[in-house]
């Protein structure tokens, strides 16, 4: 019986996952992996934490080696082999050794393309300096850590305020290095909404991380960088964290069809437009589980699942990859931000109707010490109530809540379903009504018409229209108002004294009455009181003063 020849171009998440899955399904196949770098399977998401010494040994980043692949899986791994040509008509691949320059030809029956992504470059004067780094490979991380530990390093400039840029800011500050984050965009973390990003930014420690948005580096010198705004920053090192794009050089040479995102188009089986060619990982276009539309996220979890499907089908099995949500999380100690599914920006681009709600709720029971706010924003369909997306910022418990919400979106659950979830409760871990449950209940109240919601963006529009302004009713306690002030020309009546002060409220006719508190919960209680006492135009500011501050700062 002829042995099937499976050739995999690229390792790390997609390629390595494909190789091991193919072997588990076909013990007799000849499986070969070609990797252009020196390491075939490494934890690239762990690279910043190696620099920060939370991961001490570089060996801990190496998930598999060529020897371990051979010993455990019988997979031949050839490193430092750069594929230069793929002849899909004869099913042959040419690779060239980056060490010797020798070329090799490899025959295949099925080939899996997993080249990953390319690092974006700014092409700046001085970017080739020895103090300028990227963070893509194990050698990148090793070189940066060696640099930091071999000389006094007081300040770093990071170009790019995305996920990698923020992770690098955190690990460098943990090592006593002050950081300036620079980004051309008007907000950090472009994949999330501006108000959520602003809430996160407002809580970063300015003494550790300085953020310069709507600016960029124009030139790099050995001891300083020049910004486009005209500012010069003294700095000891520069990290380029501009992000990545799909590596489609081979795909174009092979005449594979590219999708609307610029990545390789594949079907649910991870098959490309050319027979016997599969693709997986960061080079591949994804299917958005919410909309069904094409999307692209360079995330290791997605790449691993795609590799598993590609390896299954290349080995003669049958598997499909339904899609993804782009679930992601980042920490700049002590705060964590996470996102899953649609944001307002992505929903708007795709013309998806949505309604939103904010909640501000403790990560565990309020009576148990050290409870911290979870700032949650969810989008749901205005008619069906289906959960479409979520974003969370907090100090603790962000990861488990975003995972619950990602599961809910994948299962096409509604906000009513969220309110019914039976989640683990004990005072150190959650409240009896968990933050996710409260969010579902708040959205359900809105859908059932128990309250008229008003978002911060809608309130800003009302205040700026020049028409009859709404009455703004602040129901927080006096000390809260004294500490932060209020919104516009507001009337202050604490919730607990409202029933004794009805005479201070304005008449019920003409003007809308917008009620707010810190989080939106007490104002909901007040809005219910007022609606039942004859006020026809009562609105609750969702997310309260907390959401208003974030939105106002971002806009």
pLDDT digits (tens, 9 = 90+) for 19-74: 999 999 999 999 999 999 888 888 888 999 999 999 999 888 888 889 999 999 99
Percent residues over pLDDT 70 in the chain: 99
Q: pLDDT at position 352, please? A: 97
> Which residues are 434's β-sheet partners?
none
Superfamily of structural domain 334-447 = FAD/NAD(P)-binding domain (3.50.50.60)
Domain 452-554 has CATH 3.40.250.10: yes
DSSP state of 280: -
Identify whether 45 is a catalytic site residue: yes
Same fold, 334-447 and 452-554: no
- Strand arrangement of the beta sheet that strand 132-133 belongs to: 132-133, 237-240, 155-159, 178-183, 209-213
In this structure, what token pair is assigned to residue 247? Answer: 């590596």
Compute the distance between CA of residue 43 and CA of residue 194 in angstroms, rounded to an integer: 30
The CA distances from residue 466 to 460, 461, 463, 469, in Å, are: 11, 9, 7, 7
Q: What is the pTM of this model?
A: 0.94
Task: Sketch the domain layout of the chain as residue ranges.
Answer: 5-117+245-314, 132-242, 334-447, 452-554
**248-301 per-position pLDDT tens digit:** 999 999 999 999 999 999 999 999 999 999 999 999 999 999 999 999 999 999
Cβ atoms 294, 286 nearer than 8 A: yes
Tokens 């080249």, residue?
115
What is the per-residue DSSP string for 386-409?
BEEEEEEEESSSHHHHHHHHHHHH
- Strand arrangement of the beta sheet that strand 224-227 belongs to: 217-221, 224-227, 232-234
Cβ atoms 106, 10 nearer than 8 A: no
Q: How far apart are the first and last CA of the chain?
A: 67
Cβ atoms 531, 513 nearer than 8 A: no
Q: pLDDT at position 2, please? A: 81
Compute the distance between CA of residue 545 and CA of residue 476 in angstroms, rounded to an integer: 10
Q: pLDDT at position 22, please? A: 97
pLDDT above 70 (res 509)? no
Tokens 């089908």, residue?
313
Cβ atoms 239, 143 nearer than 8 A: no
Other beta carbons less than 10 A from residue 138's beta carbon: 19
**8-19 per-position pLDDT tens digit:** 999 888 999 999
Q: pLDDT at position 49, please? A: 94
What is the per-residue DSSP string for 453-509?
EE-HHHHHHHHHS-SSPPEEEE-S-HHHHHHH--SSSEEE--GGGGGG-GGGSPPSS
Which is nearest to 189 in space by CA: 156, 216, 206, 211? 211
What integer is the mean pLDDT of 437-458? Answer: 95
pLDDT above 80 (res 508)? no
Q: Which fold has domain 5-117+245-314?
A: FAD/NAD(P)-binding domain (3.50.50)
pLDDT above 70 (res 424)? yes
Out of 25, 43, 45, 294, the active site residue is: 45
Cβ atoms 70, 112 nearer than 8 A: no
What integer is the mean pLDDT of 468-482? Answer: 93
Superfamily of structural domain 132-242 = FAD/NAD(P)-binding domain (3.50.50.60)
Cβ atoms 219, 125 nearer than 8 A: yes
Compute the distance between CA of residue 375 and CA of residue 458 in angstroms, rounded to an integer: 19
What is the per-residue DSSP string for 344-384?
HHHHHHTT---EEEEEEEESS-TTSTT--EEEEEEEE-TTT
What integer is the mean pLDDT of 234-238? Answer: 97
**292-320 per-position pLDDT tens digit:** 999 999 999 999 999 999 999 999 999 99
**DSSP-H helix ranges across 300-359:** 300-314, 344-349
Compute the distance between CA of residue 434 and CA of residue 365 in angstroms, rounded to an integer: 9
Q: pLDDT at position 388, please? A: 98
**77-109 per-position pLDDT tens digit:** 999 999 999 999 999 999 999 999 999 999 999
Q: pLDDT at position 466, please? A: 67
Confidence of residue 207 (pLDDT cuts 50, 70, 90): confident
Which is nearest to 378 in space by CA: 396, 405, 411? 405
Q: pLDDT at position 104, please? A: 94
Mean of per-residue pLDDT scores for the chain: 94
Compute the distance between CA of residue 339 and CA of residue 382 in angstroms, rounded to an integer: 20
Q: Rounded to 5 degrees, what angle do the CA atoms 56, 59, 61 make? A: 80
Which is nearest to 269 in space by CA: 307, 305, 310, 297? 310
What integer is the mean pLDDT of 414-428? Answer: 96
Q: pLDDT at position 534, please? A: 87
Q: Rounded to 5 degrees, what angle do the CA atoms 404, 406, 410 make? A: 115
């Amino acid at each position: 019986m002829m042995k099937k020849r499976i050739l995999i171009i690229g390792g790390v998440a997609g390629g390595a996952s494909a190789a091991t899955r193919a072997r588990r399904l076909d013990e007799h196949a000849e499986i070969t992996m070609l990797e252009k770098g020196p390491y075939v399977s490494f934890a690239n998401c762990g690279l910043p934490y190696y620099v920060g010494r939370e991961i001490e040994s570089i060996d801990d980043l190496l998930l598999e080696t060529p020897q371990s692949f051979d010993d455990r899986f019988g997979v031949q791994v050839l490193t430092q082999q750069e594929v230069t040509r793929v002849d899909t008509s004869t099913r042959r691949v040419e690779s060239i050794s980056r060490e010797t320059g020798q070329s090799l030809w490899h025959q295949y029956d099925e080939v899996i393309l997993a080249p990953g992504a390319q690092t974006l470059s700014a092409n700046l004067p001085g970017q080739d300096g020895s103090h300028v780094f990227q963070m893509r490979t194990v050698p990148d991380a090793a070189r940066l850590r060696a640099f930091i530990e071999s000389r006094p390093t007081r300040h770093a400039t990071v170009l790019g305020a995305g996920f990698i840029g923020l992770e690098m800011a955190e690990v460098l500050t943990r090592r006593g290095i002050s950081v300036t984050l620079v980004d051309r965009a008007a907000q950090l973390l472009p994949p999330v909404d501006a108000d959520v990003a602003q809430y996160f930014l407002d809580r970063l420690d300015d003494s550790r991380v300085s953020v310069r948005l709507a600016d960029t580096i124009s030139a790099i010198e050995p001891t300083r960088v020049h910004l486009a705004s005209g500012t010069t920053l003294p700095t000891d090192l520069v990290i380029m964290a501009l992000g990545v794009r799909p590596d489609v050089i081979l795909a174009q040479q092979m005449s594979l069809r590219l999708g609307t995102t610029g990545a390789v188009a594949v079907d649910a089986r991870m098959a490309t437009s050319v027979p016997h060619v599969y693709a997986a990982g960061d080079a591949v276009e994804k299917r958005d589980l919410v909309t069904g539309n094409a999307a692209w996220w360079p995330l290791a979890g997605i790449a691993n699942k795609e590799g598993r499907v590609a390896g299954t089908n290349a080995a003669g099995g049958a598997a499909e990859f339904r899609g993804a949500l782009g679930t992601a999380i980042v920490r700049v100690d002590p705060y964590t931000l996470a996102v899953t599914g649609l944001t307002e920006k992505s929903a708007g681009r795709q013309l998806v109707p949505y309604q939103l709600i904010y909640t501000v709720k403790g990560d565990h029971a309020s009576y148990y010490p050290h409870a911290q706010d979870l700032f949650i924003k969810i989008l749901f369909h205005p008619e069906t109530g289906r959960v479409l997306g979520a974003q969370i910022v907090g100090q603790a418990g962000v990861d488990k809540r975003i995972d619950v919400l990602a599961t809910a979106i994948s299962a096409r659950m509604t906000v009513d379903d969220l309110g019914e979830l039976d989640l683990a409760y004990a005072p150190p871990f959650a409240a009896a009504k968990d933050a996710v449950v409260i969010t579902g209940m708040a959205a359900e109240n809105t859908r059932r018409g128990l309250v008229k919601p008003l978002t911060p963006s809608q309130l800003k529009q009302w205040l700026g229209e020049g028409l009859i302004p709404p009455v703004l009713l602040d129901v927080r306690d006096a000390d809260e108002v004294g500490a932060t002030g209020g919104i516009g020309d507001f009337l202050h009546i604490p919730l607990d004294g409202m029933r004794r002060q009805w005479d201070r409220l304005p008449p019920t006719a003409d003007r809308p009455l917008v009620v707010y508190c810190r989080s939106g919960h007490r104002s909901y209680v007040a809005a219910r009181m007022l609606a039942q006492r004859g006020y026809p135009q009562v609105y609750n500011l969702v997310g309260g003063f907390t959401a208003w501050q974030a939105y106002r700062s971002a806009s």
